[in-house]
Structure 1
Amino acid sequence: MARLHPDTLAHLPAGVERPRYRRDALQAGIVHLGVGAFHRAHIAVVNEAALHASADLRWGTVGVSLRAADTRDALRPQAGLYTLALRDAADDGSPREALQVVGNLLDVLVAPENPQAVLARIAHADTRIVSLTITEKGYHHDPATGALRLDAPDIVHDLAHPGAPRTMPGFVVHALALRRARGLAPLTVLSCDNLPANGDTTRGIVLAFAHAVDAGLRDWIAAHCTFPNSMVDRIVPRTTDADRARISERLGVDDAWPVIGEPFLEWVVEDSFANGRPDWTAGGARFVAHAQPYEKLKLRMVNGAHSALAYLGATAGFRTVDRAMAEPALRAFIDALMREEIAPTLPAMEGLDLDAYRTRLLQRFANPALQHQTKQIAMDGSQKLPQRLLGTVRDRLAAGRPIDRLALAVAGWLHYLRGVDETGATHEIQDPLASALAQRLAQAGAASSMQDRVAFFTGFAPVFGELGSEPRFVAAVARALGVLEAHGVRGALAASEPNA
C-alpha cells in the first residue's frame, strides 16, 4: 500500500477532508513542544481550520519531541501529514468515524538528537508562538506549589549546558536569550496542559529558570513575552494497531500514525499574544480576558472525574472508560461526585448550565467508540491529583463541607498504587515519582492503624503539601481506603451512598 503523502492526497476517498491551502507557502510561525496525540487531535486541528479560513499562511507548525523519535519517524516520510479520526456512536450504538487529513505540521524535531536545531527553530525570526502539551511532569515543578524544582537533575543540567538543554524551561529560556541577543521580537509561550492557571504557572517556571541564568534576561522576558492561560478539552485515546489498520484501509493509503478523538472540542484562550496569532475562532476556540474560571471547571469536572473513574475503574479490573461507565454504581458515583462535591466549588459562569454540562460529560465518558484505556488516564497521578482533586478537597474543607466521595477518589489512587487489580492482574505504576511513592507506600504499611498509614502517606509534601496533615482529610481517606481494602470497589461504592 502507498504511504499517505502530499502526492497521494488527490487519490483519497471523496469523504475524507484534506488541506485546502498551499502547504508549500506555509511559514513555521508556531513551535510546539510535546507533539503527541493530544496536540495533533486538538490544537493542530483548530489551527488547520484557521488556515482554511484565512489567507494568512504564517502559522504552520514545527513540532518538537522532547523524548523519543517515534512521532518523527512515523510522520516525516508522510511530509508531516496524518489523519484525525473522530469517533462516536450512532443512534443504534454502532461506532462511526469521520476522517480528516491534517497538513499544518511541517516537521518534527527530536530534541535529544539535535537540541541545537530546536533552539534555532525557537530563535528563528518566523517563530511567534511556542505552544506546549508536555504533560504535567514536563514542567519540573512541585505539583503542590507550582514552583520550579531548581534541584531537579535535568534542570541542573540545562542551567549548566545552554547549548544542549533537555527540558521545556531550558529550551524556552536559552532560545529566548538567543532572540534577545539578535534583536528579534519576543514570543508568546502558550501552555495547553492541565495545570491550574497554566499560563501563570509556566511564566513563573520560565522566569525562575531565567533568573538563574541572567537577571537581565529574566527582566526582558517578564517585560516582553506573554504567557496566556488556556483551557483545552477533547478526549484523545491512544492509537492502537487496529486503529492504524482500519484507517489506512479506509484511506486507501498507509498512515503510520493517525490520531483518534471524540467530536467534542473546546479551547478557551486568554487573548494576550506578544507577536500575533492565528484566528483560531475559525476552529471553535474562544478568546477571553480571563481563562481561570474555565480552567477550574475543566480541571475539576472533566479531569477530576476522569481520574476518579480511572483509579476506581482500573482497580476493579475495567480496561476502558466506557466499560467503567457501564457499571451502574460507578456511573452513579461519578455523577454524584460532580454534582454534590465538585460543582459547588466552581465559580458562577454566565451562560453555563452546570447540570447540562455534567450530563453531557457523562455521555462523553460513556462513548463506546473511543475505547479510552483507564490505565492511560491513571498515569502520573502524583502530578495530576493536586489540581484535579486536592484543590477541590481544600475548598470543600474550607467551607466546612463533606469530602466523602473526593476521599474515595484519592483512596482509589492509593489502592491503585499497589500495582494489582481485583482480578489479580498486575499493572505498572507509570509516574515520575514512582520509586518515591512505592517507598512511601511500603513504609506506610508498617503503621499500626489505617489512620496512621494514611497520615504517613499523605505526609508526602510534593503531592499533598499542607493538606496531608489536615485531620479531616486524613480521616476521610482512611475510612475510604479501609472499605476499599475490605470490600473492594463495588463495596466502597455501595458504602458511599447516603443511605448505605
Structure 2
Amino acid sequence: MDRLSNQTLAQLDQPGPGYDRAALRPGILHFGVGNFFRAHQAAYLDRLMNMGLAQDFAIIGAGVMPGDVRMRDTLAAQDYLYTLVEQSADRSDARVLGPIVDYIAPGDHGRIIATLADPAIRIVALTITEGGYFIDAATGHFDRAHPAIAADAANPEAPQTVFGLIVAGLKARRAAGHPPFTVMCCDNIPHNGKVTCEAVAETARLSDPELAGWIAANVAFPNAMVDRITPATSDRERRMVREDFGIPDEAPVFCEDFIQWVLEDNFPAGRPPLEKAGVEFVADVTPWELMKIRILNGGHAVIAYPAGLLDIHFVHEAMADAQVRAFLEKIEADEIIPAVPPVPGTDLQAYFAKVAERCANPKIGDTVRRLCLDGSNRQPKFIVPTVAHRLQAGLPVEGLALESALWCRYCAGVTDSGAEIAPNDPNWDSLLPRAQAARHDPAAWLGMAEIYGATGRDPRFAEPFARWLAMLWDKGTRATLDAYLKG
C-alpha cells in the first residue's frame, strides 16, 4: 500500500470510518482545515457518523491562504481521509477519519461563494487562528481600515478574505430567499462568536449597510470554547504513523487523548446532535472560555518563554524542568487562577492539575517553539487581560510582569546560550528591534499600545517588568526564575 485512500481502507489493521462515505451529504463549510480542526471538530463529527448520525453534516473545507494549497492537495490525493493518533502517556491509538468530503482550493472564490449560497450548508465554521480576525488591539474591535478589508469593501463581488466571502455568501442566500447559515467560530478568542459577528457585519457595512443590519439581526454566531493540544505534523509523525500503524498517510494528526468543546446552543438552521458525541451545550460559554484562555493558554505562555530561552525543545521536557514547572505552578496559584471567575461544576485547581498533566505528556511531542509562536496576537488575549484584571482589583502582578519580560527577552532573538532564535511571530521584524531597545529602555516594549494598551503605562506593571527584564539580561533566565521563586 503506497497511499491512504478509499480503495486501500480495507487493507488497514486500524479502524476506519464505520459509515458509507459515498452516502454522506455536506452540511458544513469549514475555513481553516488545519490540524486542530481535524483533531477536534472533525473528530466529533466522525464520532457521530460512526453512530449512524449527522450523515447530512459532512464537511467541505475551504482554503483562503496560499499555505492552504498544500493541505488541500495532500488531502485530495487521499480522498480526504486522514489518520488521527490520540496519545496518552502510556498508549497511542490510531483511527482513520472520513467526515471531510471535499476541499475547495484557495483562489476558487466563486465556488466558495456558490457553496455558501447552497441551502444545504447550514453551518460555516472557522479555525483561522487568533490573528485572522483583524482585531485592533488598541480598541479591541474589528479594524475596518485594514487594507485587506478595505479591498473587499471596494470589490464585494470578488472578496479575498474569509469575512468578505461569508458576506457574499449571505447576500446570495438572502437574494435567493434561503435562510442564513450559522457562523461557528472555533478559535481561541474571548467571546469568539461576538468577535466573528462584528467582523462579518462590519465587513458588510462598508459596502452594504442594509445587508449589515440584516446580518446582525438574523445570523447566529454562537460562542464556543474548544480545547485539545494538537502539535504540528512533521516527517517524524508521518514516519511514525507508517511504521507504528501501517498507514501511508501524508497528513496525519497527532493529539492528546483529552478533548473538550463547550458551545452555546444557537443554531437556527439546525445542527448535528453533538451532545451525543460529548459536546457540552450551555447558555453562556463565558466562564469556561475565561478558564481555558487564562489557565491553559496563559499557562502555555508561562511555560514557553523561559523554556525557549533555556533551549528546551519539547513542552514535556519543559515540564520536567524543576524551575519551569515551579514557575508555572506559582504564577497559576498566585495570580492566574484567582483571576478566573467560578465555573459551574468545575474545580479550578483540579482543572489546572489536568492542564499540567496534559503538558507533561511525553507522547505529544509538542514543541516549545509552537507555544512561543505569535506572541503579538496571543499575549493581548491570554496574558494582558489577566494583568488588567488584577491591577483593577489592586493586586500584585510580579509573576505576570516576569512572564511579559521573558517574552520581550525572547523576542530579542537570542537564547541564554547565544543561539539564534529564528523569526517566530508575524510581527517579528518590528518586535526584534523593540525587544533589543528595551534592554536599556523598557518603555520601548511597553509602549506597544496594540499589545498592552493602558496596562503598559501603569507603573504597578511597568516597574516590575523593567526590574525583571534587567535581571534577565544581567543574570540570565535561571537566576531570574530562582529570584522569583524565592519571593
Indicate which of 35, 48, 72 corresponds to 1:50: 48
CA deviations over 1:281-315 (Å, ceiling 9, x no partner): 23221111000110000000000010121111111
Shift of 1:345: 0.9
Q: CA distance change for structure 1 residues 262 and 144 in 2, over 3 Å: closer, same or farther?
A: farther
Are 1:109 and 2:104 matched, yes or no?
Answer: yes
Q: Retained in 2: the 8 A contact 1:459–1:469? A: yes
Bigger Cα displacement from structure 2, 257-266 vs 480-489: 480-489
Indicate which of 20, 23, 29 corresponds to 1:22: 20
Q: Which residue of 1 aligns with 2:307?
A: 313
Q: Which residue of 2 aligns with 1:483?
A: 471
Partner Cα distance (1:477, 1:293) in 2: 29
Are 1:462 and 2:462 matched, yes or no?
Answer: no
Q: Which residue of 2 aligns with 1:408?
A: 402
Q: Retained in 2: the 8 A contact 1:390–1:464? A: yes
CA-based RMSD of the aligned residues comes to: 1.5
Shift of 1:219: 1.2
| Superposition pairs of residues 80-479 of structure 1, within 5 angstroms | 80-90=80-90, 96-111=91-106, 113-441=107-435, 444=438, 450=440, 453-479=441-467
Shift of 1:54: 3.9
Q: Retained in 2: the 8 A contact 1:51–1:59? A: no
Are 1:34 and 2:36 matched, yes or no?
Answer: no
Partner Cα distance (2:304, 2:40) in 1: 22
CA deviations over 1:90-114 (Å, ceiling 9, x no partner): 2xxxxx3100111001112222x31
Q: Which amino acid aligns with 1:2?
A: D
Matched pairs, number: 485
Partner Cα distance (1:317, 1:331) in 2: 15
Bigger Cα displacement from structure 2, 99-108 vs 349-358: 349-358
Bigger Cα displacement from structure 2, 391-400 vs 343-352: 343-352
CA deviations over 1:24-65 (Å, ceiling 9, x no partner): 121111111110000001110011112222444110001122
Bigger Cα displacement from structure 2, 430-439 vs 311-320: 430-439
Query: SS of the residue aligned with 1:6?
Result: coil
Partner Cα distance (1:360, 1:150) in 2: 40
Structure 1 segments (4+ residues) deviating >4 Å: 442-445
Shift of 1:151: 2.1
Q: Retained in 2: the 8 A contact 1:339–1:358? A: no
Q: Retained in 1: the 8 A contact 2:262–2:282? A: yes
Partner Cα distance (1:405, 1:262) in 2: 28
Query: SS of the residue aligned with 1:7?
Result: coil
Partner Cα distance (1:466, 1:356) in 2: 33
Partner Cα distance (2:117, 2:421) in 1: 42
CA deviations over 1:331-365 (Å, ceiling 9, x no partner): 01101111110111111123211121111111111
Query: SS of the residue aligned with 2:61?
Result: strand
Query: SS of the residue aligned with 1:98?
Result: strand
Partner Cα distance (2:16, 2:187) in 1: 27
CA deviations over 1:176-226 (Å, ceiling 9, x no partner): 111111211111111111111111111112111111121111111111111
Q: Retained in 2: the 8 A contact 1:116–1:163? A: no
Partner Cα distance (1:168, 1:428) in 2: 29
Q: Which amino acid aligns with 1:149?
A: D
Instruction: Quote the sequence identity (%).
Output: 39
Q: Which amino acid aligns with 2:33?
A: V
Partner Cα distance (2:348, 2:272) in 1: 31
Q: Retained in 2: the 8 A contact 1:301–1:338? A: yes
Shift of 1:80: 0.4
Query: SS of the residue aligned with 2:206?
Result: helix
Partner Cα distance (1:6, 1:384) in 2: 39
CA deviations over 1:53-81 (Å, ceiling 9, x no partner): 24441100011222121111111011100
Query: SS of the residue aligned with 1:213?
Result: coil
CA deviations over 1:385-423 (Å, ceiling 9, x no partner): 111000000111111111111111111110111111122
Q: Which residue of 2 aligns with 1:93?
A: none
Query: SS of the residue aligned with 2:62?
Result: strand
Partner Cα distance (2:470, 2:145) in 1: 37
Q: Which amino acid aligns with 2:272?
A: P
Shift of 1:444: 4.3
Partner Cα distance (1:66, 1:138) in 2: 11
Query: SS of the residue aligned with 1:89?
Result: coil
Q: Which amino acid aligns with 1:77?
A: A
Partner Cα distance (2:435, 2:327) in 1: 26
Query: SS of the residue aligned with 2:8?
Result: helix
CA deviations over 1:135-163 (Å, ceiling 9, x no partner): 01111111343312122221122222324
Shift of 1:431: 2.4
Shift of 1:247: 0.7
Q: Retained in 1: the 8 A contact 2:152–2:160? A: yes
Shift of 1:317: 0.7
Q: Retained in 1: the 8 A contact 2:184–2:221? A: yes
Which runs of no fewer than 5 residues in structure 1 stay unpaired?
A: 91-95
Q: Which residue of 2 aligns with 1:10?
A: 10
Q: CA distance change for structure 1 residues 149 and 391 in 2, over 3 Å: closer, same or farther?
A: same
Query: SS of the residue aligned with 1:301?
Result: helix
Q: Retained in 2: the 8 A contact 1:230–1:291? A: yes
Q: Which residue of 2 aligns with 1:74?
A: 74
Bigger Cα displacement from structure 2, 462-471 vs 230-239: 462-471
Shift of 1:237: 0.7
